[in-house]
């Protein structure tokens, strides 16, 4: 192994920087999953009967389903009876201002560098902070309410806006969709709900920070975003989790429903605990994210920067049902040490003149495995559908793997589908060139990798792009960040 490779190894083999545990009194369900667990969760959340019925239907469906095994990942079998399905910080009372936030919770955010005040003041971002499973704090609610925008926790939406939840929940990702979607539908804890009314352009980036906290807690987030005709919103989701020895299961569902002429931009920065150098611990991230362009000219864009989790299994997808609708997927997935990622997207073209773009950048270091898996399906009525896919893989060192599994199914002869793929290595020449200009190997790798991801970072909102770059630097450079 040359000197550069050794350095890359040291750099990429570094430990998770944000591993710490905060001590918040949790209110937890007993381990295991049965109807009683579901009733416990539903009762805890003061849910109406219809919500409980939905959960129970999903649970019955889940029992009949099998855990999928087709992804290019390896992990020991999950014991679903050994998981705590509900854990909430004890609610003191409803919070009116940030000052009332649990000091421990606040300190946790501060450690992560997420200062709510600062975000409020500097960037005008409305933050719906989720610690474990319950929405702790929602800001800018009033301001949004004036425009008719609803932005609240999912449980609140169930109570306050049952007609919307009933109408849209499961309309994009039904509980019958897959094993983890069914599980989520049965036990989901909380998440965010967002509704943008007709013709309204949401004036700020909506943002949620997720954080897994109690040991051995499965977290089952549920997010639903509805953009009515001609509405626009940009939604940010960012995650970090503290260090744990046991594997933590995370199976979220995100649904986006875009009506005619609506636009939704959904950006994620995910930095869950990836496990240590030897692959011990880490989060299993099995997520179902899907958007439906229901009406004409609707547009949904997914942008994701994935650096964390021991295992990532995630395919943010777009169903292009409305004519002239547009789907986009921009992704950076970084795997390091023993991490495994099987991620990509699905673009399902149903309407006429629909178009989709896929830009995927995979970066693998250590002994990790990084797979792109994507499906482009052109239905038989999807006249003049158009897709462009570009899948690039970058290897750091010589013990990691990069794989690409593109699936293309085309049932309409007028469609145009393009696929480009490249694989490259961070060259010793590039590193030496940087070194010769006074830049250390660690910084050089960060610089080169950030350059490589530029197309995707350009899609992120400004403040998020900066965070993503930092995160990438941290993931690849240990404590340097």
Q: Which residues make up the interface to other proteins (CB under 8 A)?
A: 2-4, 427-430, 432-441, 443, 447-448, 450-455
Lookup result for tokens 């005008």? 124
Closest separation in Å from C-beta 187 to other proteins: 42
Q: Which of 388, 390, 394 is nearest to 370 (CA)?
A: 394
Closest separation in Å from C-beta 421 to other proteins: 16
Closest separation in Å from C-beta 450 to other proteins: 7
Closest separation in Å from C-beta 236 to other proteins: 23
Beta strands of 118-172 (E only): which ranges?
126-131, 134-138, 150-153
Based on CB atoms, which residue is closest to other proteins, 93 or 437?
437
Lookup result for tokens 């933050």? 127
Q: How far apart are CA 385 and CA 475, in angstroms?
A: 38
Based on CB atoms, which residue is closest to other proteins, 83 or 444?
444
Cβ burial of 413 (10 Å; 0-12, 13-18, 19+) is: exposed
Closest separation in Å from C-beta 16 to other proteins: 25
Closest separation in Å from C-beta 455 to other proteins: 8
Q: Which of 476, 480, 240, 478 is nearest to 365 (CA)?
A: 476
Based on CB atoms, which residue is closest to other proteins, 153 or 360?
360
- Alpha carbons within 13 angstroms on the beta-carbon side of residue 238 total 22
Based on CB atoms, which residue is closest to other proteins, 342 or 467?
467
How far CA 176 is from CA of 70, 163, 294, 342, in Å, comes to 18, 21, 20, 22
Please say whether the beta carbons of 432 and 444 come within 8 A.
no
Beta strands of 119-227 (E only): which ranges?
126-131, 134-138, 150-153, 192-196, 206-211, 222-227
Based on CB atoms, which residue is closest to other proteins, 215 or 447?
447
Please say whether the beta carbons of 295 and 323 come within 8 A.
no
Q: How many CB atoms lie within 10 A of CB 356?
A: 26
Based on CB atoms, which residue is closest to other proteins, 181 or 426?
426
Residue 481 is encoded by which pair of tokens?
């960040």
Closest separation in Å from C-beta 444 to other proteins: 9
Closest separation in Å from C-beta 107 to other proteins: 30
Based on CB atoms, which residue is closest to other proteins, 182 or 453?
453
Q: How far apart are CA 91 and CA 279, in angstroms?
A: 35
Based on CB atoms, which residue is closest to other proteins, 332 or 338?
332
């Amino acid at each position: 192994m040359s000197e550069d490779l050794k350095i890359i190894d040291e750099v990429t083999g570094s430990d998770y920087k944000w591993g710490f545990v905060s001590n918040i009194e949790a209110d937890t369900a007993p381990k295991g999953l049965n109807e009683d667990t579901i009733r416990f969760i539903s009762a805890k959340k003061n849910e109406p009967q219809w919500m409980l019925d939905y959960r129970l239907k999903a649970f019955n469906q889940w029992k009949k389903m099998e855990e999928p095994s087709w992804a290019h990942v390896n992990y020991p079998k999950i014991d679903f009876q050994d998981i705590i399905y509900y854990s909430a910080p004890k609610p003191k009372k409803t919070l009116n201002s940030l000052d009332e936030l649990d000091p421990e919770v606040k300190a946790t955010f501060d450690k992560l560098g997420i200062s709510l005040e600062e975000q409020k003041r500097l960037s005008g971002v409305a933050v719906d902070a989720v610690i474990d499973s319950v929405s702790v704090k929602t800001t800018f609610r009033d301001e949004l309410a004036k425009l008719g925008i609803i932005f609240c926790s999912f449980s609140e939406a169930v109570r306050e806006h049952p007609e919307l939840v009933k109408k849209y929940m499961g309309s994009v990702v039904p509980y019958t969709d897959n094993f983890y979607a069914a599980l989520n539908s049965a036990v989901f804890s909380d998440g965010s709900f967002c509704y943008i009314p007709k013709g309204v352009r949401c004036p700020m980036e909506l943002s949620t920070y997720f954080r897994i906290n109690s040991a051995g807690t499965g977290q089952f987030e549920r997010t639903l975003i509805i953009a009515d005709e001609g509405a626009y919103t940009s939604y940010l989701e960012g995650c970090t989790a503290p260090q744990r020895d046991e594997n933590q299961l995370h199976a979220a569902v995100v649904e986006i429903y875009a009506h005619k002429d609506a636009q939704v931009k959904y950006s994620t920065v995910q930095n869950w605990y990836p496990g240590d150098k030897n692959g011990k611990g880490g989060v299993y991230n099995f997520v179902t994210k899907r958007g439906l362009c229901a009406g004409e000219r609707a547009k949904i864009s997914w942008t994701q920067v994935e650096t964390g989790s021991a295992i990532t299994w995630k395919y943010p997808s777009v169903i292009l049902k409305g004519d002239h609708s547009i789907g986009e997927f921009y992704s950076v997935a970084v795997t390091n040490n023993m991490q495994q990622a099987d991620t990509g997207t699905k673009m399902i073209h149903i309407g006429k003149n629909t178009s989709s773009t896929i830009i995927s950048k995979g970066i693998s270091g250590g002994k990790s495995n990084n797979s792109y898996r994507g499906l482009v399906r052109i239905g038989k009525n999807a006249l003049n559908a158009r897709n462009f896919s570009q899948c690039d893989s970058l290897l750091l060192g010589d013990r990691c793997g990069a794989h690409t599994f593109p699936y293309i199914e085309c049932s309409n002869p007028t469609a145009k589908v393009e696929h480009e793929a490249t694989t490259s290595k961070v060259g010793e020449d590039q590193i030496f060139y940087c070194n010769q200009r006074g830049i250390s190997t660690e910084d050089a790798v960060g610089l080169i990798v950030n350059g490589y991801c530029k197309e995707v970072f350009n899609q992120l909102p400004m403040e998020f792009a900066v965070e993503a770059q930092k995160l990438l630097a941290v993931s690849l450079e240990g404590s340097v960040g």
